[in-house]
Structure 1
Amino acid sequence: MAEKSLKEVAAKMKQLDIAMLTTQTGKGQLTSRPMSNNGDVEYNGNSYYFTFEGARTVKDIDENAHVNLSFEGPKKLYISINGKAALIRDKAKMKEHWVKDLEVWFENGLDTPGVVMIHVKAERIKYWQGEDEGEVKI
């Protein structure tokens, strides 16, 4: 498997918004759900997603911070990112990644009760596109 730079893979990810975020439950089951990175597509090894404090995703991350993100893009592009998730509740940090479109889900913006941000820091990235495949180790 060829090794690529983070910059090369980030260029492939530029138009990708939706990821499937996979966590592991306390019973060892894998659970995936679609998450939007809110148009924050300048990928640098960090991904940010908003959810509610009471979501199963938050409980899973509290129990096991190891997660996976998977993306599918044009021209048969597939990307899998293994990383570690952290929960951010600091409004000033959340504001850096907030976009107005999120108010569809979070009616009062960052003042919506229970809003929390998930930060996924990549540890390893694998990608496939046609005959080209590779890996980035962070």
Structure 2
Amino acid sequence: MNDWSKTESLKFLQDKVKEVKTAMLTTYSSEKGFNSRPMGTADIDDEGNIWFFTNEYSPKISEISVENTVSLTYSDVANHTYLSIVAEASVVDDKAKMKELWSPFIQAFFPEGLNDPKLTLLKVQPTDAEYWDSNSSSMVVLFNLFKAVVNGKHYDEGKHGKIAL
């Protein structure tokens, strides 16, 4: 990935985020330390910003208002693909953007729809990203693990690297 252009790196990040869809968002507060929760990705745009719908009055928004550096972790166990992203988060109250990103799935969390007074967007701008991708099925991974043990060799985990942002 070191020889990829920024455009190729961004495309890789977009593809992986869109495949996995759900991230663990980790925030930090001095009172409670690190706090993680699953978040459904609404979109990753052409600039690499990752968008989420959220409740404006949730603890994560309070935490981000004090410390806006967050971590996102995407894990696709079935395909052995993992992303770790460090980012700057901000709250965006933009009804036009909300309308653009809206889906019926969001309605389950915000029954009042776009008119819900608690509804807001969380914009996460990655500053650092890393990936692990074995690009193999579970059977191939298990076979390669078994082969490494039998042969006394180190298991080849697949591709790993930084994503140029």
With structure 2 as the length reference, what TM-score do the two structures score? 0.74
Contact 1:47 1:119 in 2 (8 A): yes
Q: Which runs of 5+ in 1 are unaligned?
A: none
Contact 1:17 1:41 in 2 (8 A): no
Q: 2:63 aligns with which of 38, 60, 63?
A: 60
Return the structure number with greater relative CO, CA threshold 8 A, min gap 6.
1
Give 1:29 deviation, angstroms.
0.5
**Deviates most, 55-64 or 68-77:** 68-77
Report SS of the residue matched to 1:95.
Answer: helix
Residue 89 in 1 paired to residue 83 in 2? no
Kindly tell me the number of residue pairs found equivalent between the two proteins: 136
2:160 is matched with 133
CA distance in 2 between partners of 1:117 and 1:29 (Å): 23
Residue 17 in 1 paired to residue 31 in 2? no
Report SS of the residue matched to 1:71.
Answer: strand
CA distance in 2 between partners of 1:51 and 1:16 (Å): 19
TM-superposition CA deviations, 1:18-75 (whole Å, max 9, x none): 000000113361110000014x366752111111121001001101110010001132
**Deviates most, 5-14 or 46-55:** 5-14
Aligned in 2, Cα 1:49/1:124: closer, same or farther, shift over 3 Å?
same
In structure 2, what residue type is equivalent to 1:64?
A: E
User: RMSD of the TM alignment (CA)?
Assistant: 1.9
Of structures 1 and 2, the larger Rg is shown by 2
CA distance in 2 between partners of 1:37 and 1:120 (Å): 10
Q: 1:122 aligns with which of 116, 119, 126?
A: 126
Identity of aligned residues (%): 32
With structure 1 as the length reference, what TM-score do the two structures score? 0.87
Contact 2:44 2:51 in 1 (8 A): no
Contact 1:26 1:63 in 2 (8 A): no
1:70 is matched with 73
CA distance in 1 between partners of 2:121 and 2:88 (Å): 14
Contact 1:15 1:41 in 2 (8 A): no
CA distance in 1 between partners of 2:88 and 2:29 (Å): 15
Q: Which runs of 5+ in 2 are unaligned?
A: 134-156
In structure 2, what residue type is equivalent to 1:24?
A: Y
| Higher-helix-fraction structure | 2
| Higher-strand-fraction structure | 1
Aligned in 2, Cα 1:54/1:13: closer, same or farther, shift over 3 Å?
closer
